[in-house]
Every structure is written in structure tokens, then in C-alpha cells.
A and B are shown apart, each in its own frame.
Chain A
Amino acid sequence: MDKISRRSFFRRTVAAGAAGAVIMAKGAASANGAAGQPMATVIDLTRCDGCANQNTPLCVAACQSKNRSRFPEPVKPIMDYWPRKGFEDWSDKKGLRDRLTPYNWLYVQKVTVDGKTVYAPRRCMHCDEPTCAYLCPFGVIAKNGDGSVVIDPDGCFGGAKCRDVCPWGVPMRQAGVGLYLKLAPKLGGGGVMYKCDMCHDLVKQGKNPACVTACPQGAMTFGDRSAMKQLAEARSKEIGGYVYGASENGGTSTFYVSPVSFAAIDRALKEQKVVDGKPGRSGMPLKVENKVDQLDGWATGVLLAPVAAVFAAGRAAYKSLASEKNAGDDSDKGGES
């Protein structure tokens, strides 16, 4: 806990400075999201009914229509991921609405817990310390001041490392698109990774994400991160419930509130095979540690190494010079190493 607050302190200090600069540069900014303040979503599971009388939940439909123009259009035939056989192609399953795919960045899980049916809209959590962004080997996942974590489809190579290091396996890969096609498509790269971007463009304009606007039950609330965290805690207290997402993976920008425990939801998701072990469906595991965070000690070591080296080397150098003098070596100095 201590650690998280220290880290979020750094982040906020820097983010606040950046936000100030943005406001100065742009004059007046309307909402906080537009000013680059950290934002978040509360997803209230007591309110979501999975849009029971609709074919597709309205948030999912809204996400679809908002983002359709950005969905991948792969060039076929697609090559195997040499030396392996096969590739990840979702382009003939564009209609799937019951899992995350490159063509579906939000879906609603349905699960029964203690006789109660729970619906949980699932998408990227927009982590405070996004392991996906920290570890992208091409540096093309941005963590923005508004809290959104955004993959740049033009720089992504589709190695899927971000999915492997995401505790929820969120980013989904489509082969046959992106930068790798221009280099050595047979030998390296695998496509482009896709996921929710928190409607970063809308948020920049001071608007809510499309899914939040679309929900007829008001199950999602979007706003200032600290206010949303308070709201989630207050609501949870009110119903004697639970919050998910406030501390997982070091904290996220998505707070689920549920009347039943997330441990029970996670168990039920697995038992009822909502989580089928294949990409695009994940449970709600508790106690998700941030694995990059855990290496902070070594990272600090990297930053301290120069200081230690300067002192140690300075001492050693003067000692060696002194001992050469003592040895009566008063001709031309040390020369070379």
C-alpha cells in the first residue's frame, strides 16, 4: 500500500505539472479529462443487467459503432508466424460479442453467484502502472495524463508481449496488418494489438466514453479519478459490497462495485466456463501484484550505480597515483591504461 502511494505520488506530481502546462497552452479547458487530469470509471454491478432485452448490450454496441473505422483490415493471405504454424486471425469472427477480440473491445460477462446473476462489462482497466506500456519493446503504448492507456496501431509490431504481461490478457492480436508487413513479414512481427483506449479522443474533448454514455441503467460513471474512487467506496459501503480495481496491478482507472465478493465472482467465472482459458476472456483474480513494481529495488540500484562508481573509482584512482609517486616514478606520468 505504502509503495503504491509513493508511486502514485510521483505520477500525480508529474501529471499535475503537465496538466497545468496543457491548460496554459490551450487557455480554458472544459472538463478535467480535457485538461489531462486522471479520470476513471465506476462500473456498478448492482445496476448492470446486461441489457437483457437487447441482442447486444448497448455499451458494447456503442463501442462498436464508435470504433468500427479503426478495426483492422488485414491483407490476405496472412503468413504463418515462422517458424511456427498458424497466426491469430479474428477477421472472419468480427461478429463475436462474448469475448474481447481485435473487433470487440468491450464485452459483458454473465455469471451466477449464490443464485444471483451478475453482469460485468469487461475491457482494459487502464492501469495506473500499466505493465503493458512499461514493457512494450517498441515504446508505442502511451499512458496519458487522463489515465488512458493507448496503443499506437502504426508503431505496433504485434509481438503480443503486452497481452502476456497484462494480468487480464486484454490486448488482442490481429495478424496481417501493421508495420511488420513492410519489413520481414515472414520472419518477424505478428500484426497489431487492439484494445479499449478509454475513448481518449472523446475524453480530450471533455466528453464521456461512448459506453458510459450509452448505458441505459447508468451503471457506469466517468469522472475525476479521486472522485470516482470515493464514489466506488461509498457505493460499496452503502450496499455492503466490494470494490475491484482500486489496488489490483498497483491500482487502475476502473472500479467495479459488486454486492457479492470478487473472489466468488472469479471462482464462478471459472466454474461456469465463462473464462474458457482462451484469449479474450479473463477472470477477476484478486491480489494481482504489479510485477514491474516488484523490480523497483533493482531499478533503484541501476540509478544508484553511477554514484557508487564515482566514489569508488575516485578513491582508487588517487590511491594508484599516490602509490606510483611513492614508487619513485617521477618521469612522465601514468601514460595509458
Chain B
Amino acid sequence: MEKLLESEGKVLRHDRTVRIIHWLIALSCFVLVFSGFGQMPVYKRYMITDLPGLTWTADYFITLKMHYVAAVILVFASFWHVVYHGIRRDNGLVPRKGDFGESVRIMKAIITGGQEPPSDKYLAEQRLAYVFMAGTIAVLILTGIIKTVKSMGFVLPEGLVFWSTQLHNLGAALIVFGIVAHLGAFIVPANLKLLGSMFHGKVDLEYVKHRHSIWYEKLKRRSR
């Protein structure tokens, strides 16, 4: 659970459970992207198979197995995330009214070096990015499950298979975009301060006071 660690000059931002789930999702998505693209006949065509150690990428059944194994992890972690935070009523990442305008103001401040509006635990753009990622993963899981059922030998309506496949491919493209944007966010120095929190859980107290002042007030009230 998040809390102020004033003696250390830190704030615990992500507890261990949250960190584990984050990395399970990230890692499985990485494997899913790689093995998913293996399901498209691209590695042979574009000579990835000629690279040392990557000959196996031509074997659809190897990449399909990887895809299934990673899918088990992603599906587990995603359902876990929704159910766990749903029961706890954790809503920090749920977008709020005015998030669009606020994220524009934050971006402007970052570019011009001006004053950012005060933020809660998450910035407005993080809440919007979360909806994008969660929505895309939901589409991938749903269409992926339909594809899985099809490949288990159930005869599904042709249209359902066709559209699931198309949406699955679209979802794959969107998640790649999402991952690139997610990593790209750390080019901004202010955001870099958050990076460590996904490893050891903590961020600097000073940083929180300054940038996430709404959250800081909440934490202070709670620790009293």
C-alpha cells in the first residue's frame, strides 16, 4: 500500500503486488508482440531468420506456443488487475472530467518550462494513456480468446473469425504504438523520476510535494 516514508525522504508509490503485475503484463506483452509478429509470415520474408540464433523464428508452431504461454500470463495478470483494484475501489487511473484540457496544459508547461497544474497520484495524461492501453489489451484478450477457441477445433461463424482476426491485428498495431509512447514518456526528465518506482516502489518525497501536491495532501491526511 502506498504511504509516506518521511524519515527516508521517500514515498512508497507502488507496492510489491502492483509492481509484479506491471512486469508480468509488460513482459508478456513484449513476448506476445514478438511471437505475434511471428504469426504473420514476416520473419522469413524480411530475413530475420538469417540472423544468427534466430532461425527458429520461421517455425510458426514455436512462435505460436510462445504466444499461448505469454497469453496465459497476460490474461491472468490483466484479470487480476481489474478484479483486485475493482474490489479495493482503487480509482487513481480512472480518467476524470477535464483530463484532456489538463493534459494539454501539462504538455505545454513541459515544453515551455512553465508551471504545471498540481497533480494527484497520476497525471491527467497517465489516466488517458491508461484507458488507451487497457482498452487495447481488452480488445486483444477478447479477440485472442475467440481465436484460441477457433484453434481448439470449435467451428465459429466465419464473420466472427474474420473480424476477430482483423481487430486482433489492429490491436497489435495499437499496442506497439502504446508501448513506444509509454517508453517515450521517459524522455521527459520530470517523468524519469517515476521510473525507479516500478523497480523498488519509491519516489522522492520532494518530487511528490512539488509535482503531485494533491496526492501529497491526501497521503498526509491519511497518515495522520
A residues bordering B, Cβ < 8 Å? 7-8, 10-11, 14-15, 18, 81, 83-84, 129, 134-140, 142-143, 145, 155, 159-161, 164-165, 190, 291-296, 298-303, 305-306, 308-310, 312-314, 316-318, 320-321, 324, 329, 331-337
Asked if B51 lies at the interface with its beta carbon under 8 angstroms from chain A, I say no
Complex CA–CA separation, A291 to B87 (angstroms): 41
Asked if B213 lies at the interface with its beta carbon under 8 angstroms from chain A, I say no
Report yes or no: B84 in contact with A313, Cβ–Cβ below 8 A.
yes
Interface of A is mostly: helix
Complex CA–CA separation, A295 to B64 (angstroms): 8
Asked if B56 lies at the interface with its beta carbon under 8 angstroms from chain A, I say no
Contacts of A296 in B (CB 8 A): 152
Pairs across A and B, CB under 8 Å, 29 listed = A15-B155, A18-B155, A83-B47, A84-B45, A129-B153, A134-B150, A135-B64, A135-B151, A137-B39, A137-B40, A137-B165, A138-B166, A139-B164, A139-B165, A159-B42, A291-B61, A295-B64, A295-B65, A295-B151, A302-B71, A306-B76, A309-B83, A317-B87, A320-B1, A320-B88, A334-B90, A335-B222, A336-B2, A337-B93
Contacts of A300 in B (CB 8 A): 152
Contacts of B177 in A (CB 8 A): none
Given contacts A83-B46, A309-B76, A314-B87, whether A298 and B68 have CB atoms under 8 Å apart is yes
Closest CB of chain A to B142's CB: distance in Å? 11
Closest CB of chain B to A287's CB: distance in Å? 16
The chain B residue with its CB closest to the CB of A312 is B80
Contacts of B162 in A (CB 8 A): 139-140, 155
Asked if B10 lies at the interface with its beta carbon under 8 angstroms from chain A, I say no
Closest CB of chain A to B220's CB: distance in Å? 11
The chain A residue with its CB closest to the CB of B40 is A137
Contacts of A314 in B (CB 8 A): 83-84, 87
Report yes or no: B149 in contact with A337, Cβ–Cβ below 8 A.
no
Asked if B109 lies at the interface with its beta carbon under 8 angstroms from chain A, I say no
Asked if B218 lies at the interface with its beta carbon under 8 angstroms from chain A, I say yes
The chain B residue with its CB closest to the CB of A321 is B88
Report yes or no: A145 in contact with B72, Cβ–Cβ below 8 A.
no
Report yes or no: B68 in contact with A336, Cβ–Cβ below 8 A.
no
Report yes or no: A295 in contact with B45, Cβ–Cβ below 8 A.
no
Complex CA–CA separation, A331 to B217 (angstroms): 13
Contacts of B60 in A (CB 8 A): 135, 161, 164-165
Contact of A336 (CB < 8 Å), options: B42, B87, B90, B221: B90
Report yes or no: A139 in contact with B166, Cβ–Cβ below 8 A.
yes
Q: How many residues of B contact A (CB 8 A)?
A: 66
Report yes or no: B152 in contact with A305, Cβ–Cβ below 8 A.
no
Contacts beyond the supplied A293-B153, A295-B151, A313-B83: 6 A-B pairs with Cβ under 8 Å: A11-B155, A292-B61, A298-B65, A302-B145, A317-B85, A336-B122
Asked if B116 lies at the interface with its beta carbon under 8 angstroms from chain A, I say no
Contact of B158 (CB < 8 Å), options: A142, A301, A335: A142
Given contacts A135-B64, A142-B158, whether A301 and B72 have CB atoms under 8 Å apart is yes
Contacts of B174 in A (CB 8 A): none
Contact of B79 (CB < 8 Å), options: A129, A138, A313: A313
Given contacts A298-B65, A302-B71, A316-B17, whether A308 and B153 have CB atoms under 8 Å apart is no
Report yes or no: A309 in contact with B222, Cβ–Cβ below 8 A.
no
Asked if B171 lies at the interface with its beta carbon under 8 angstroms from chain A, I say no
Complex CA–CA separation, A138 to B68 (angstroms): 18
Contacts of B90 in A (CB 8 A): 334-337
Complex CA–CA separation, A313 to B20 (angstroms): 13
Which B29-48 residues have C-beta < 8 A from chain A?
Answer: 39-42, 45-47
Contacts of B72 in A (CB 8 A): 298, 301-302, 305
Closest CB of chain B to A2's CB: distance in Å? 14
Asked if B209 lies at the interface with its beta carbon under 8 angstroms from chain A, I say no
Given contacts A11-B153, A135-B64, A310-B83, whether A336 and B120 have CB atoms under 8 Å apart is yes
Q: Closest 9 interchain pairs by CB? A: A336-B92, A139-B165, A309-B79, A159-B41, A298-B68, A317-B87, A337-B90, A313-B83, A305-B75
Closest CB of chain B to A302's CB: distance in Å? 5
Contacts of A302 in B (CB 8 A): 68, 71-72, 75, 144-145, 148
Asked if B129 lies at the interface with its beta carbon under 8 angstroms from chain A, I say no
Complex CA–CA separation, A15 to B166 (angstroms): 24
The chain A residue with its CB closest to the CB of B159 is A139
Complex CA–CA separation, A299 to B85 (angstroms): 27
Contacts of A134 in B (CB 8 A): 150-151
Report yes or no: A305 in contact with B79, Cβ–Cβ below 8 A.
yes
Closest CB of chain A to B90's CB: distance in Å? 4
Complex CA–CA separation, A316 to B64 (angstroms): 32
